[in-house]
Amino acid sequence: MKSVKNIAIMGAGLVGSLLSLYLKKRGYEVTVYERRPDLRKTGAAGGRSINLAISERGWKGLAGVGLEAEIRKMAIQMPGRMIHDMQGNLNFQPYGKPGEAINSVSRGDLNIALIDAAEASGIKFIFNQRVLETDLAGTYAMMEDGNKGGTYKLQPDLIIGADGAFSLVRYTMMKTDRFDYSQTYEAHGYKELTIPAGPDNSFLIEKNALHIWPRKNFMLIALPNMDGSFTCTLFYNLDGEQSFKTLTTEKEVEVFFRTYFADAMEIMPTLYQDFFANPTGLLMTVKCFPWSHGNTMLIGDAAHAIIPFYGQGMNCGFEDCSVLNELLDTYSDDWEKTIPAYQTARKPNSDGIADLAKLNFIEMRDLVADPDFQFKKQIAAKVSATYPDKFIPVYSMVSFSNLPYSEALKEYRRQDEVLSAVLLLPEIREKWDTTYFQEIAGRLFNK
């Protein structure tokens, strides 16, 4: 690979925009090409979730380009989950220690802030530009110009595909030898709905929480917005007797919501309009490897799209940027060393968070009164309190630390194994809260 001066980033989404700032700061000439129109002119990007939850890795990524403070002003702290049961009873469960919180932010506003900051630093963004093909060996990209029409050839020193879950750059890589690839859809889809603001932009339910209505096989969640509204998402089966397919009339939607989400329904005046106007989204996991070929590499969702149940998609993508930046430090901007080191280091972690996101979906739905699950959680909390150094909650590792995702997944499995063993102990249900039992648990965790 010749010396890299000009870099073309494909995709002006969250990761592409943040990455452009990192690379510009290092002295590269960076241009960002985006397939869609400028979202500052057209409004929010279609087809994607409206809210995001920023946690530690996201903040670290933003801090690296000096944007943390600015974005914090746009975010609403959510220090825990507010569980809504079938009767409308509320139960607040903190995510971590006092002071720890994940943060609701608008995807569109965050993206605009990043693009504005990047343009202000001299990075060029060109919209309505679609990658048709990349020549992975020789580093050129054939582009389609949606503004003037026609196609043209681009020849930067390096092409970085930050073009999301349906990456066009990745599709070119699929034709190369030995490219491992998988795309897997969930049986669940999602639909976005709204709880509007109350009078004077007041919040109609608790502002500082991520609301969850867990119903075992499906769930509704709600995240607060700065204007007092909440963005709700219904996750539900795509097919079957209880599924989106059985919600085709207002009457069906009404009965469904009245049965399962009565308290939410009362504050959703546009429920039917939203339900039938908004598309049913699909949930896909993408894994692939390698993430590079010749002078082309993938980053963010283009390399590893995950499902949203750990709130880590964007956080993982931002961590991609800070990890890549650190490796460019390590290898003094020698991309021939940096790229292999990056993909080797990062792959186990993107696989790890993909798996954790799937596991967390099950946990979130199981927050419904599943006695075994709740008992296990009760024991876990007790063990964690007794042995804080031996039992770090995995949620905290993922959301409030920068420990590698792969280690968090390993820890999840270890804890699950030990907790399953603990549950087999005689008289556990009577004695779980005793010193005697705590000692046994401590020994199990020490193995």
CB of residue 256 to its own copies, shortest distance in Å? 22
By CB under 8 A, tell whether 182 contacts its own copies: yes
From the list 27, 180, 430, 443, which residue makes contact with its own copies (rule: CB under 8 A)? 180
From the list 184, 330, 402, 420, which residue makes contact with its own copies (rule: CB under 8 A)? 184
Name which of 289 and 445 has its Cβ closer to its own copies: 289
Q: Hey, which residues between 343 and 372 contact its own copies (CB under 8 A)?
A: none
CB of residue 227 to its own copies, shortest distance in Å? 33
From the list 178, 429, 443, 447, which residue makes contact with its own copies (rule: CB under 8 A)? 178
Name which of 88 and 279 has its Cβ closer to its own copies: 279
Q: Hey, which residues between 261 and 320 contact its own copies (CB under 8 A)?
A: 282
Cα(339)–Cα(341) distance, rounded to whole angstroms?
5
CB of residue 173 to its own copies, shortest distance in Å? 12
160: phi > 0 → left, psi -120 to 50 → alpha, else beta; which?
A: beta
Cα(56)–Cα(13) distance, rounded to whole angstroms?
20
**Listed ranges 80-88, 139-147, 171-179, 251-259: which one lies at the site for its own copies (CB under 8 A):** 171-179
CB of residue 182 to its own copies, shortest distance in Å? 3
From the list 179, 331, 373, 375, which residue makes contact with its own copies (rule: CB under 8 A)? 179
**Listed ranges 45-53, 170-178, 249-257, 263-271: which one lies at the site for its own copies (CB under 8 A):** 170-178
By CB under 8 A, tell whether 185 contacts its own copies: yes
**Listed ranges 175-183, 267-275, 312-320, 411-419: which one lies at the site for its own copies (CB under 8 A):** 175-183
Q: Hey, which residues between 223 and 242 contact its own copies (CB under 8 A)?
A: 238
Binding site for its own copies (CB under 8 A): 174, 177-185, 238, 282
